[in-house]
Amino acid sequence: MADPRVVITGLGMVTPLGIGIDETWEAVLQGKKTVRPFTIFEPGAFKCTIAGEIDDFSARKFVPKSYRKAVKVMARDIEIAVAAADLAFLDADIETKGTSENQSIAPDRLGCNIGAGLICTELDELGAAVNTAVTDGKFDYKKWGKEGIPNLTPLWLLKYLPNMLSCHVTIIHDARGPSNCITCGDASAALAAAESTSYIQRGCADVVVTGAAESKLNQMGLLRQELLGRLCNSKNDSAPEAVRPFDKDHDGMVIGEGGGLIIFENLERNKARNGKAYAELVGFGAASDPNGINVETATAGNLALAVKHAMKAAGITPNQVGMIAAYGTGVPGEDLAEVAEWRKALGDAADKIPAFATTGATGLMFAGGGGVQLGLASKALSEQIVPPTVNFSSPAEGCEMNFSSEPRKGDFEYAVVGAFTVGGQSGACVLKRYQG
């Protein structure tokens, strides 16, 4: 018996480019650039003062009235995921407890697998409590134990647990099937996609909400990327042009915040309800770079191995690949490492196949970036348009793949999506055009 087939039937995008797949896709095609001086906190003495920010955003609009109080215990990462999940179910036209009075999916057939990053505590909130436990200018552990602890809100810890993205989504939509939270940085969404497909293929769910969301747009996030030497500090005055994946003037990334949640559905179920589908998932692969612990050396996580495995599972050769969804952090060493991996996986075809990366438009969205990448690749496949690579003008030496800053019409059957993370994990998916 062959494995059941799995299709992508709903896209929920929450990115600096827009809220929802339609707004986001339109902005992508227009080549909209969203990186600008950030406002979510004072940039002050930070070296990098620009980012891809989501405007005027709160999850309140995206949760049922009865659940609005819970938004208070959601870190920004969680809010993004909750909103994106709502949008994804609406786009898929699947009715859940969260979107409708009548559910069209049985709770125990609905799975959830949402990738997340390291969620940062809000420094002002924790600082207010910590500063009640100071003696002679120093943190006083004894005083903290007695007087400091009660100054934190009782549910403080729950705001920052990465599985809370999944947990809130399962509660809102009454998803009682398998539920997981993958925390492998930017590769999380690709890995979650593989596992979500497995849920459906092994028969323990018919529909899965998957993808990832993250916001590192906070002091600790910015600090850590600065220490890693990945940030672009040279273009605070020309923010929209700062992130330039694979371009000769690439000079690092800036932080973007966002999430892409995606509905996976058993094809038979989708057919039975006459639903739409963006693409079919036909192959996955995952790999590691054993040198990933040397975080001062750029890595693309042995992506070639993941891509080869995914293509083998899909039963396709490099010549059948019509589009490459590259990751494109814009960090020079990482761009070079990534192109080398695509070439290793696809040979001569790597430089000919139309490719794109959207980080130039939004900044790097970490775990969320992988979800958005997978969602946009699905949309691109269904529209038969290769999205533009914003800020790409001519390739950096060693990055001569087929990128363009303009959208391109295509006629292609298969897209390969690849993502990787600091630490050395990577994941790849092969998507196939779905025409009913």
Window 121-160: residues binding other proteins (CB under 8 A): 121, 123-124, 126-128, 130-131, 134, 137-139, 141-146, 149, 152-158
Give how far Cα 86 sits from Cα of 169, 210, 404, Å.
8, 12, 33
Q: Which of the ranges 85-93, 111-119, 320-328, 376-384 carries the binding residues for other proteins, by CB under 8 A? A: 111-119
Residue 9 touching other proteins (CB under 8 A): no
Q: Which of the ranges 191-199, 238-246, 255-263, 387-395 carries the binding residues for other proteins, by CB under 8 A? A: 191-199
Query: x/- string (CB under 8 A) for other proteins, residues 252-271?
Result: --------------------
Q: Which of the ranges 272-280, 287-295, 370-378, 382-390 carries the binding residues for other proteins, by CB under 8 A? A: 287-295
- CA 277, CA 266: separation in Å to the nearest integer? 11
- CA 31, CA 45: separation in Å to the nearest integer? 31
Q: How far apart are the first and last CA of the chain?
A: 22
Compare residues 23 and 139 and give the one whose CB is closer to other proteins: 139
Residue 166 touching other proteins (CB under 8 A): yes
Other Cβ atoms closer than 10 A to 291: 12
**Contact by Cβ (8 Å): 259, 214:** yes
By CB under 8 A, the residues from 354 to 383 that bind other proteins are none
In the complex, the smallest distance separating the C-beta of residue 301 from other proteins, rounded to whole angstroms, is 8
Identify the residue among 58, 183, 233, 405 touching other proteins (CB under 8 A): 183
Give how far Cα 201 sits from Cα of 84, 161, 216, 316, 415, Å.
24, 29, 34, 20, 21
Identify the residue among 1, 66, 348, 409 touching other proteins (CB under 8 A): 1
Give how far Cα 262 sits from Cα of 197, 220, 340, Å.
12, 28, 29
Residue 295 touching other proteins (CB under 8 A): yes
E-only strand ranges, 69-143: 110-115, 134-135, 138-139
Query: x/- string (CB under 8 A) for other proteins, residues 219-238?
Result: xx-xxx-xxx----------
Other Cβ atoms closer than 10 A to 3: 11
Identify the residue among 36, 41, 271, 343 touching other proteins (CB under 8 A): 41
